[in-house]
Amino acid sequence: MDTPHHGTEEIVLKGIAAAPGIATGPAYLYTKQIPRVERKAITPDDVDAEIERLQAANARSEKELRKVLTFAEQKLGSQSATIFEAQIMILGDAILMGSIKHRIATELLNAEFIVADEINKYRQMMLASPDEYMHERAHDVDDVMNRIIRNIQDQKLYSRLEGASIIVSETLAPADTVIFSRNQILGYATDLGGVTSHAALLSRSLKIPAVVGLHNATKQIATGDSLAIDGYAGVLIINPTPDTLKILQARAERFLAFAQELAGIAALPADTLDKKHIELSSNVEFAEEVEFARLQGSEGVGLFRTEMQLIGKAAYPSEDEQAALYARVAESAFPHPVIFRTFDVGGDKLAPDGQHEENPFLGWRGIRVMLDRHDIFLDQLRAILRASTRRNVRIMFPMVSTVTEVQQAKHLLRQAMDELKAHGVKFDARIKVGVMIEVPAAAMMAEQIAAEVHFLSIGTNDLVQYIMAVDRGNDAVARLFQPYHPAVVRTLRHVVEAAHRKNIWVGVCGEMAGDPLATAFLVGLGVDELSVIPPVLPEIKKIIRSIKVKDAKRVADKVCSLHTEAEIRAFLSSMIKNKVPEIPLEFEGTSH
């Protein structure tokens, strides 16, 4: 099935929903012109001319990128445009460029070969990382490299389309996304990429539907093929039948009506019909996202993944560097709170000095690392405290499995406070401290842990992984990654009740918090806070505003009485269909 021009049969390709929206139109297959690089020897006499060619190409690349940057700033706002500033910074990296020039002069090889080789080394390092975010950034590095090489070879950039099209490509660089958006783009579909790719973030800002991770769409589609893209369901359909188009049309209308209804919801409180307030906040990785979260109606940041700043770093950032970042985040969320989770390194996430482990998810991860590395932990704790002067900062410890770990972490927090006090540095001495419940042992001991802290936040991503003994990133066992497994839902109930017995609030910050299927159940359990990815926030708020606590409690009781995940999912789906018909449904077309 991997050949294009397959006739008129309808084919449904499933990928990952990256930017919402539905569109139909002809395909435009964008095969990136990856410049061919040949290794050519030069003579010592050629060195100056070769370096000049490199410098001219570099200057032209910068000029191109500045154009894209200006365009992106106008279209997306300055925060989203920072990606292009980062690319311009690579071009201006004196060490990298110095090393390229040095190699041209000493190895006597042509400029494009050295550029490709040197930047490739950098890229390989990023790809070797187990971190998905690093893989995405490697594509940005690729983009810069191809741009310089294309300019060394004096080739023109090509980004004009004939008419309105759905772009199908192996991968899209952020610059492609923006440049293409000058044409009439109906959607983006890519073989590679995840929802965290910058191209995905940009398509969301540009309001262009996008589906990524389609694996081999480019092999099955030719320019001109008739396509339909559903950026809600993460589906791309080749040769959609009239029936499918009808379904999609109906879905598009329903979503439009839904979006219009949701547009006004940002300013409304996340209160149930009987006026119980649920604190609805956001999971955020980068300072730039806080503003978007606020526009979506977020009440602050329920999970700031501080370890994201370690990406691409050979060492942990200094206390001052961290303090500046945390202050910026706290400032943009103010007056709402921000929960800074201390570095959750290890597992599938990067640590600057991480070691190879046979079982990283059962290994040196999260608080375990920090309790072994007091110097790094104290730097971070002082940095967070320094950002807390306006009293909207909270601290949370990840990957806790024992009460002792909590006590040790709190002890170090007190030490960080004493050190700041001794230097006359201001901070919030009554800062609230919480623990993530994501290890079964911690869930069992939730009440004893609750006695030590001001709040608990349940990390369902890891909790499900550890309860089910299923690697959260392993496709082969994905069907056992069951957030609605009876063991999981009962554990959630146990944790919520434990927190309430100790009179502290409890939230959920794993992906389950942002799943519309879970909202009534979680509210029914008595969860006080939900921290979700910003795009789904209005939808979750709408559900909260459409239920009563007493009905939600009945939902939770029923869920906790069932014996299989299939039963629980079926029950929750039937509740959604009956009670809140405007909630978007999964795509219902046929699949091959």
- Binding mask 449-478 vs ligand PEP (x if CB under 6 A, - otherwise)? ----------xxxx----------------
- Binding site partner of 509, from Mg ion, ligand PEP, none, Cβ cut-off 5-8 A by kind: ligand PEP
Q: Which residue in 64, 142, 289, 438 binds ligand PEP (CB under 6 A)?
A: 438
198 noted as active-site residue:
yes
Enter the tokens of residue 403. Answer: 């009460």
Contacts of 93 (CB under 8 A, 6+ apart): none
DSSP for 148-173 reads HHHHHTTPPP----SSSEEEEES---
Least distance (Å) between residue 399 CB and ligand PEP: 8
Residue 351: helix, strand or coil by DSSP? coil
The CA distance from 118 to 112, in Å, is 10
Enter the tokens of residue 520. Answer: 């009534």
- Binding site partner of 529, from Mg ion, ligand PEP, none, Cβ cut-off 5-8 A by kind: none
Instruction: Enumerate the β-bridge partners of residue 396.
Output: 341, 434
Choose between 167 and 325: whose C-beta lies nearer to ligand PEP: 325
Contacts of 66 (CB under 8 A, 6+ apart): 88
- Binding mask 284-303 vs Mg ion (x if CB under 5 A, - otherwise)? --------------------
Choose between 225 and 529: whose C-beta lies nearer to ligand PEP: 529
Least distance (Å) between residue 568 CB and ligand PEP: 19
509 noted as active-site residue:
yes
Least distance (Å) between residue 512 CB and ligand PEP: 8
- Binding site partner of 299, from ligand PEP, Mg ion, none, Cβ cut-off 5-8 A by kind: none
Least distance (Å) between residue 486 CB and Mg ion: 22
Choose between 285 and 291: whose C-beta lies nearer to Mg ion: 285
Peptide bond into 335 cis (omega under 30): yes
Residue among 350, 335, 279 at smallest CA distance from 529: 279
Burial 44-61 (b: 16+ CB within 10 A, else e): eebbeebbebbeebbebb
Q: Which positions from 279 through 308 interact with ligand PEP, judged by CB under 6 A?
A: 303, 305
- Using CB atoms within 10 A of its CB, is residue 75 exposed (0-12), middle (13-18) or buried (19+)? middle
Q: Which residue in 170, 191, 344, 539 binds ligand PEP (CB under 6 A)?
A: 344
Backbone angles phi, psi at 12, to 5 degrees: -105, 120
Determine if 538 is a binding residue for Mg ion (CB under 5 A).
Answer: no
- Binding site partner of 534, from ligand PEP, Mg ion, none, Cβ cut-off 5-8 A by kind: none
Residue 273: helix, strand or coil by DSSP? coil
- Binding site partner of 339, from ligand PEP, Mg ion, none, Cβ cut-off 5-8 A by kind: none
Q: Which helix (H) or strand (E) holds 286?
A: none
Enter the tokens of residue 204. Answer: 């969301």
Determine if 515 is a binding residue for ligand PEP (CB under 6 A).
Answer: no
Choose between 166 and 467: whose C-beta lies nearer to ligand PEP: 467
Q: Are 363 and 344 in contact (CB under 8 A)?
A: no
- How many chain residues touch Mg ion (CB under 5 A)? 3
Residue 580: helix, strand or coil by DSSP? coil
Least distance (Å) between residue 488 CB and ligand PEP: 12
Least distance (Å) between residue 574 CB and ligand PEP: 27
- Binding site partner of 240, from ligand PEP, Mg ion, none, Cβ cut-off 5-8 A by kind: none
Least distance (Å) between residue 484 CB and ligand PEP: 15
By CB under 5 A, which span of 442-450, 459-467, 520-528, 560-568 interacts with Mg ion?
Answer: 459-467
In angstroms, the Cα distances linking 17 to 29, 92, 249, 308, 431 are 19, 35, 18, 22, 38
- What is the number of helices (H) and of strands (E) in the chain? 22, 16
Least distance (Å) between residue 248 CB and ligand PEP: 32
- Binding mask 409-448 vs Mg ion (x if CB under 5 A, - otherwise)? -----------------------------x----------
The stretches of 507-561 forming alpha helices (DSSP H) are 519-525, 537-544, 549-561
Q: Which residue in 509, 522, 540, 552 binds ligand PEP (CB under 6 A)?
A: 509
By CB under 5 A, which span of 189-197, 278-286, 328-336, 462-470 interacts with Mg ion?
Answer: 462-470
Instruction: Enumerate the β-bridge partners of residue 530.
Output: 280, 508
Q: Are 211 and 189 in contact (CB under 8 A)?
A: yes
Residue 384: helix, strand or coil by DSSP? helix
Q: Which residue in 234, 300, 459, 526 binds Mg ion (CB under 5 A)?
A: 459
- How many chain residues touch ligand PEP (CB under 6 A)? 10
- Using CB atoms within 10 A of its CB, is residue 260 exposed (0-12), middle (13-18) or buried (19+)? exposed
Choose between 205 and 491: whose C-beta lies nearer to ligand PEP: 491
Determine if 510 is a binding residue for ligand PEP (CB under 6 A).
Answer: yes
DSSP for 211-257 reads EE--SSHHHH--TT-EEEEETTTTEEEES--HHHHHHHHHHHHHHHH
Q: Which positions from 201 through 260 interact with ligand PEP, judged by CB under 6 A?
A: none
The CA distance from 502 to 274, in Å, is 25
Q: Are 291 and 266 in contact (CB under 8 A)?
A: no
Choosing from 139, 198, 336, 485, which is the catalytic residue?
Answer: 198
Choosing from 139, 336, 485, 509, which is the catalytic residue?
Answer: 509
Q: Which residue in 462, 511, 528, 529 binds Mg ion (CB under 5 A)?
A: 462
- Binding site partner of 305, from ligand PEP, Mg ion, none, Cβ cut-off 5-8 A by kind: ligand PEP
Residue 475: helix, strand or coil by DSSP? helix
Least distance (Å) between residue 143 CB and Mg ion: 31
- Interface residues toward Mg ion, by CB under 5 A: 438, 459, 462
- Interface residues toward ligand PEP, by CB under 6 A: 303, 305, 344, 438, 459-462, 509-510
Q: Which residues are catalytically annotated?
A: 198, 509
